[in-house]
Chain A
Amino acid sequence: MKDMPQRYVYAYAVTRDCAAVAGALETVTGVAAEPVGGVRHLGLMALAGRVPAAEYDEGALSERLEDLPWLEGVARAHQRVVDAVTAAGPCVLPLRLATVFHDEAGVRAMLEDRGQQLRSALDRLDGRTEWGVKVYAPEPTAAPRPPAPRATTSGRDYLRRRAAERHAHQEGERRAGEAARGIHTTLAALAEETRLYPPQNPALSRHPGRNVLNAAYLVPWDSAPHFTSAVTGLAEHAPGDGLRVELTGPWAPYSFVTPDTP
């Protein structure tokens, strides 16, 4: 039986092979605090680092991915590498978290096999960046509970009042949904592509309120100031509808690595 390898290769992103990327990598470390370098092949470059095989083999990974503090460390390190290269200027194709190869030869073989697809994605996304926008509505459970029926209140009155309250609650939800859709429509008109994510779990996001829109927008760099000021304008108006608007970014185009399929 062959010895287990000591190290695997964790790949973060793919870019075109250029000097600016190599410079940006000098100061950044990866998920295992390892130096990150470029694996170059055929004009492409995979940003990758060597990680302990024992920690990143299949069994270990599938267990560790359910360990939230570990997952957070890996996610933040992954993002740190992608951010460092994005800041250097070139178009970056981020890879999904925990893309692990046996060795550098495997990375080069991937760059060869998937070269055409990777190049066309780099062309499509060049000069563009991703912005995230989330909209929150007040938590429905925050509404005051109706008082218990008093002796002087008939059952019929009580039920009528409950129905009115339910109706007001549904009306509030409907208005929040409509306002969120309006925000999305406005921003989608300023973006080349959009992606909708499922609403975030408030226990994980630690945000008060209900997440009613969780969207990503692909925006050309030159239009970024226009887009962000549009978000600021919407955020200023949102409290009037009882909503809160939040912007994140610029992100590497995580949400747009595969073209829009109609």
Chain B
Amino acid sequence: MTGAALPADRRLTLVDLLDRLLAGGVVLTGDLTLRIADVDLVRIDLNALISSVDASVVPSPWEEQHP
């Protein structure tokens, strides 16, 4: 069944994951779930999140200009 799988060592990028996990998947809302399920996760601004990334993870483009 899973013969078509890509090699297991191929690591997905976070953005690929977030595309699906924040915009896809079954959405369950109502009294049964915490109200967090009502939060429109799609609206989380990934651009705003960039600023919270450790600079060692995503070097800023202007850093390289300062030796």
Q: Which residue of B lies closest to A102 (CB)?
A: B34
Interface size for chain B: under 10, 10 to 19, 20 to 34, or 35 or more residues? 35 or more
Question: B5 contacts which chain A residues (CB < 8 A)?
Answer: 87, 250
Question: A249 contacts which chain B residues (CB < 8 A)?
Answer: 6
Q: Which residue of A lies closest to B57 (CB)?
A: A69
Most chain B beta-carbon neighbours within 10 Å: one of A75, A76, A79: A75
Interface residue? B9 (CB, 8 A) = no
Chain A 72-103, CB-CB to B under 8 Å as 1, else 0, gives 10011011000000110100011111111110
**C-alpha gap A236/B21 in the complex (Å):** 30
Q: Which of A67, A75, A110, A221 is within 8 Å of B21, CB to CB?
A: A75
Question: A113 contacts which chain B residues (CB < 8 A)?
Answer: 30, 32
- In the assembled complex, the CB of B8 is this many whole angstroms from the nearest CB of chain A, namely 10
Q: A113-B32, A221-B4 are in contact. Are A118 and B26 (CB under 8 A)?
A: yes
Interface residue? B49 (CB, 8 A) = yes
The number of A-B residue pairs with CB atoms under 8 Å apart is 161
Contact B18 A58 (CB under 8 A): no
Q: A66-B44, A93-B26 are in contact. Are A197 and B33 (CB under 8 A)?
A: no
Interface size for chain A: under 10, 10 to 19, 20 to 34, or 35 or more residues? 35 or more
Chain B 36-67 residues near chain A, CB threshold 8 A:
36-37, 39, 41, 44, 46-50, 52-54, 58
Question: B12 contacts which chain A residues (CB < 8 A)?
Answer: 79, 248
Question: A87 contacts which chain B residues (CB < 8 A)?
Answer: 2, 5
**C-alpha gap A93/B24 in the complex (Å):** 10
Q: A14-B26, A132-B16, A221-B4 are in contact. List 12 more A-B contacts (CB 8 A).
A: A79-B21, A87-B2, A96-B25, A99-B27, A100-B36, A102-B34, A110-B30, A203-B47, A204-B14, A204-B46, A250-B2, A250-B6
23 residue pairs A–B, Cβ–Cβ below 8 Å: A14-B26, A62-B36, A65-B39, A65-B44, A68-B53, A79-B21, A87-B2, A89-B1, A89-B2, A94-B20, A96-B21, A96-B37, A99-B33, A99-B37, A118-B26, A132-B16, A195-B24, A204-B49, A216-B24, A250-B4, A250-B6, A254-B24, A255-B24
